[in-house]
Amino acid sequence: MAGGKGTRLLPATKITNKHLLPVYKKPMILYPLETISKMGITDILVICGDEHTGGFAKLLGSGKEYGVKFTFRIQDGHGGIADALSLAEDFADGENIAAILGDNIFEDDFSDFAQDFSGGAQIFVKQAKDPTRFGVVEAKNGKVLSIEEKPEKPKSNLVSTGLYFFDSSVFQKIRALSPSKRNELEITDVHRLYLQRGALRATEIFRGWTDAGTHESFFEASRIAREIERGI
């Protein structure tokens, strides 16, 4: 999912989409795409906004260069992550689906989780210094107690990263959502619906991760990307 205007990274994003900005050696979006392809997923839908679709198509092409197949879909407006994910319903065709945000860079390999996933929803969480920017997860003994989007007073420093596994019921859940105060369909509300049914699992990760959504985290993204490229 690579929509949005990237306003927090202005002026760098004045003439291009933030996911096309260079991070260390290559455009940002290639890192989450590598995370997905390492899982053995080769059929990939790229959801982007209408302003820079040509840039994504020129960079990624059909996917042959990367050993995958790309399909492109445009998100009209800026309705949030869950709204973007809803565009993948026909693409998913009733199967389980992995979703990743185009500005998320991970050091971890999630292949085992992808192979073992059988239903419900799976999120990956990590301790963060600035949890108010994310969906905050309250957990005890490995069990998720609550999840809240960008709270002013977070219950923990544990946040949901931008990689998710969902079963096909995710699209029905998205249709049941109402827009938040930000007038967006929040992915955290999707997670909450799974939690209410006892079908949300959270796994804490400890290796490098950043969302590259601010100038500081964008700087951190280059450091993590450099370690990935050098195999550190």
Sign of the CA dihedral running 226, 53, 99, 187: positive
CA distance 202 to 223: 26
User: Does 2 map to a domain?
Assistant: no
Out of 9-23, 79-93, 117-131, 188-202, pick the least confident.
9-23
pTM of the model: 0.92
pLDDT at position 13 is 83
User: Does 126 map to a domain?
Assistant: yes
pLDDT at position 218 is 87
Q: What is the mean pLDDT of residues 13-34?
A: 91
User: Does 166 map to a domain?
Assistant: yes
pLDDT at position 10 is 86
User: Does 215 map to a domain?
Assistant: yes
Q: Which domain holds residue 142?
A: 7-230
Q: pLDDT tens for residues 31-72?
A: 999 999 999 999 999 999 887 888 999 999 999 999 999 999
Q: pLDDT tens for residues 164-215?
A: 999 999 999 999 999 888 888 999 999 999 999 999 999 999 998 988 888 9
Total domains present in the chain: 1
Q: pLDDT tens for residues 135-163?
A: 999 988 778 999 999 998 999 999 999 99
**Higher-pLDDT residue of 183, 111:** 111
pLDDT at position 59 is 94
For residue 124, the SS3 value is strand
Q: pLDDT tens for residues 74-90?
A: 988 778 899 999 999 99
Q: Is the pLDDT of residue 232 over 60?
A: no
pLDDT at position 172 is 96
Q: What is the CATH number of the domain that holds 136?
A: 3.90.550.10
Nearest to 2 by CA among 35, 50, 39: 50
CA distance 4 to 194: 25
DSSP string, 131-153: GGGSEEEEEETTEEEEEEES-SS
**Higher-pLDDT residue of 5, 8:** 8
User: Does 1 map to a domain?
Assistant: no
User: Does 106 map to a domain?
Assistant: yes
User: Does 152 map to a domain?
Assistant: yes
User: Does 181 map to a domain?
Assistant: yes
